[in-house]
Amino acid sequence: MMLEQQDWWNSSVPPSPILIENVQPAVDGGRYPVKREVGDRLEVSADIFREGHEKIAAVIKYRAIDDAGWSEVEMVHIDNDRWAGEFPLERNTRYRYMIEAFPDTFGSWKSDLRKKFDAGQDVASELIEGGAIVREAQGRADATDIARFDQLLLAANAGDQARSVAVLLGEEVGELMHRYRSREGWIHSVPEMTVVVDRVRARYAAWYSMFPRSAGTVPGQSATFRDVIDQLPRIEKMGFNVLYFTPIHPIGTTNRKGKNNTLNAQPGDPGVPYAIGSEAGGHDALEPGLGTFDDFHALVEAAAARDMEIALDVAIQASPDHPWTKEHPEWFYIRPDGTIKYAENPPKKYEDIYPLNFQNEHWRSLWEELKRVILFWVGHGVKTFRVDNPHTKPTIFWEWLIGEVQREHPDVIFLSEAFTRPKVMHALAKAGFTQSYSYFTWRNFKQEMTEYLIELTQGPAKEYMRANFFPNTHDILPYILQEGGRPAFISRVTLAATLSSVYGIYSGYELCENTPVPGKEEYLNSEKYEYKVWDWDRPGNISQFISVLNGIRDAHPALQEYDNLEFYPSTHDSIIAYGKRTENNSDMIVVLVNMDPFQGHETLFTLPLQDMGLDPAQPYRGTELLSGDTIMWTGETHHWHLDPQHNPVAIFAIESWLRQDYAEPCY
């Protein structure tokens, strides 16, 4: 940690003797913000020290980004020159914070005086020195406290040394000296740090992804926003509170893709929603088949009445028919023959999509237009955005855009859809994305899942990256779901919903839909290319299980936190054991998942009872929340069996058997 630059060489005041190092939390030395949610307290720590044995003091200075002045809280010494303190995060905004440290002259004097006096030495000189320190502080006091200083100094001089020592080391002098202490020799940590304080739904939410055009009942015809309103009770019953739509904008007709991504669309094929733009408009318009803005507003209001919100997909690309291609061809990649280049991910070709060129000389107008689009939808009641392929656009653009939007609307949430290289994924999170996709989708074994979750929730990434776990997406049907059937669907959604505090599924998951394109992690007959009508009561569905699972999440605060995950030893390689606890152990959840969807397994698992505030010698209860069964346990290690066809997972609420509400005697 570099020290604040001061022109001290030419000053009559010597430089501060104090060093401040290793301030935490900090992302890349303070280059990027850390993330928290409203209601949290940010704990800040640092190594703070100086030469010799003189005392020092330190405070955390903090302010909301729109506050003119600083507030401060005291830091306390922990051990080995490590200091810590915390301050409340009460608003959905950004806070700035730093550490100020300074010599504690009065504290050093008190320590030396006590040692000498207790050793029976004469302390007349020390008392004169102490009186001078107190009078110096008195010069900063208000009128009332000046009088209190006078009274105390008079009392200190009215008796023998024992009397003087008692007064000057007393609590009342200590309170006044703390209030008016000198900060001569201060130093600040630099740079100032930032914490983004999001609303709680940034950390705790359940997402349901769907194509709104597939919400209807008429085959071969687009559903409307009004049809989606009819689906809200079903989605709410399953416990989801964020309803995420793939793009709802007009779809181009040029090079439109047909069923199963065929190159030539047939009459009636609706096209891919990611081929944005037609004669009906671009990113600030609606696909006509979905309805009008009045219909959209009705949907937003109907969702809000159920404590649900609409999330929109932001796909920064255009069909050949997008108005931008005529109004701003300079925003695109131009071939030597003057035509606009379509998107490619060799060997894949996307002839119906034009990527945007962020390196063009008119980049400022492009950036401003994209900001306008986001704010346009914010104005229509949308506060959550899932961003498609953000890793194919400059990271600095996202840092700018998210900062600009949240400066006006700090409640806006951005989810980064970036299945890409780890460092790129992490850079996007640092740049400002509220939530991030992750590799959870492909972690199928106990050891790799454990290692990855420890990395996400216990390592440096926890300060800036909230992983939103999706077991499937409209683009990805993992092999584990293709092969593992219903048991895999149950185990994977349980893992997603309990390992992370924010997760989501793509519609059809509740039906265990898993027909793939042979040899690929893609859905056959995907609704990316056609209208769908779903039978939501199809036999074999797990809708009720998901409802119970989300109900457990809502009922247990431990599952609503992100970085309180801990793994427990279990003896079988296919059964993963983990849990979450609230800080005061008032709510404790233990989860067992059989990660093998084909065979039943049994395991011994061990709980950290002392950390959980339980006496290993006393009984405690484990209530299995899916079945409602209650077991009385003693000791740390227990046996459990998980059968993929009957109970692939188990979720326990742990509590003392002798809770207060069970402590009354029975007669």
591 found inside a domain: yes
If one counts every other C-beta atom within 10 angstroms of the C-beta of residue 235, the result is 24
Residue-number span of the structural domain to which 123 is assigned: 105-180
26 and 164, same structural domain? no
Mean pLDDT, residues 202-216 taken together: 98
Residue 248 to residues 286, 290, 494, Cα–Cα distance (Å): 6, 8, 30
One domain, residues 468 and 605:
no
In the chain, how many domains are there? 4
Q: How far apart are CA 309 and CA 300, in angstroms?
A: 7
Would the pLDDT of 104 be above 90? yes
Sort strands 82-88 and 41-50 into parallel, antiparallel or unpaired.
Answer: antiparallel
Active site residues: 388, 417
Q: Is there a single domain that holds both residue 551 and residue 630?
A: no
pLDDT at 7: 67
Radius of gyration of the chain (CA): 31
Q: Above 90 in pLDDT, residue 205?
A: yes
Local confidence band at 659 (pLDDT 50, 70, 90 cut-offs): low
Residue 19 near residue 46, CB atoms below 8 Å: no
pLDDT band at 296 (very low <50, low <70, confident <90, very high): very high
pLDDT tens profile 446-480: 999 999 999 999 999 999 999 999 999 999 999 99
Mention every residue, 6+ apart, whose C-beta is less than 8 A from residue 225. 212, 290, 291, 295, 296, 298, 299
Give yes or no for residue 532 having a pLDDT over 70.
yes
Closest CA to 144 of 115, 110, 179: 179
Would you say 543 and 236 are in contact if contact means Cβ atoms under 8 Å apart?
no
Instruction: Determine the pLDDT at residue 658.
Output: 67
Residues 301-323 have a mean pLDDT of 98
CATH number at residue 70: 2.60.40.10
Of 560, 587, 617, the last residue of a domain is: 560
Average pLDDT in the 313-328 region? 98
pLDDT of residue 2: 39
Rounded mean pLDDT, 393-397: 98
Same domain, 389 and 476: yes
Q: Smallest Cα–Cα separation from 409: which of 439, 377, 440? A: 377
Work out the burial of residue 142: count CB atoms within 10 Å of its CB; fewer than 13 is exposed, 13-18 middle, 19 or more buried.
exposed
Domain's final residue, options 528, 560, 592: 560
User: Is there a domain that residue 334 lies in?
Assistant: no
**653 plus 625 within the same structural domain:** yes
The stretch 328-346 carries a mean pLDDT of 93
Phi, psi of 554 (to 5 degrees): -65, -30
- 380 and 509 in a single domain? The answer is yes
pTM: 0.94
Residues 636 and 596 in one domain: yes
User: What's the average model confidence in pLDDT over 514-524?
Assistant: 97
Percentage of the chain lying above the pLDDT 90 cut: 94
Q: What is the pLDDT of residue 663?
A: 41
Cα–Cα dist 286/294, whole Å: 11
Residue 119 and residue 59 share a domain: no
**53 pLDDT above the threshold of 50:** yes
Amino acid at 435: Q
CB atoms under 10 Å from CB of 421, counted, come to 10
504: β partners = 207
Residue 480 within a domain? yes
The pLDDT confidence band at residue 229, using thresholds 50, 70 and 90, is very high
The answer on 301 and 233 residing in a single domain is yes
Q: Residue 352 above 70 pLDDT?
A: yes
- Is residue 394 included in any domain, yes or no? yes
Backbone phi, psi, residue 103, to 5°: -60, 135
Q: Would residue 333 count as lying in a domain? A: no
Residue type, 576: I
- Asked if the structure places residue 226 within a domain, the reply is yes
Q: Are residues 412 and 503 in the same domain?
A: yes
Other CB atoms within a 10 A radius of the CB of residue 6 amount to 12
CATH of the domain at 607: 2.60.40.1180
pLDDT tens per residue across span 403-459 = 999 999 999 999 999 999 999 999 999 999 999 999 999 999 999 999 999 999 999
| Inter-residue contact 366 to 328 (CB < 8 Å) | yes
Q: What is the pLDDT of residues 371-381, one digit of tens each?
A: 999 999 999 99
Residues 381 and 452 in one domain: yes
What is residue 661's predicted lDDT score, i.e. its pLDDT? Answer: 47
Clarify whether residues 297 and 162 are in a common domain: no
Separation of alpha carbons 132 and 206, rounded Å: 63
In a domain? residue 268? no
* Residue 186 placed within a domain: no
If one counts every other C-beta atom within 10 angstroms of the C-beta of residue 313, the result is 21
Residue among 366, 242, 361, 351 nearest 303 (CA)? 242
- How close are the terminal C-alpha atoms of the chain, in Å? 66
pLDDT for 129 beyond 60:
yes
Dihedral sign (CA 295, 297, 300, 303): negative
Beta pairing partners, 47: 21, 82
Is the bond preceding residue 267 a cis peptide, omega within 30 degrees? Answer: no
**Of 170, 198, 226, at which residue does a domain stop?**
198
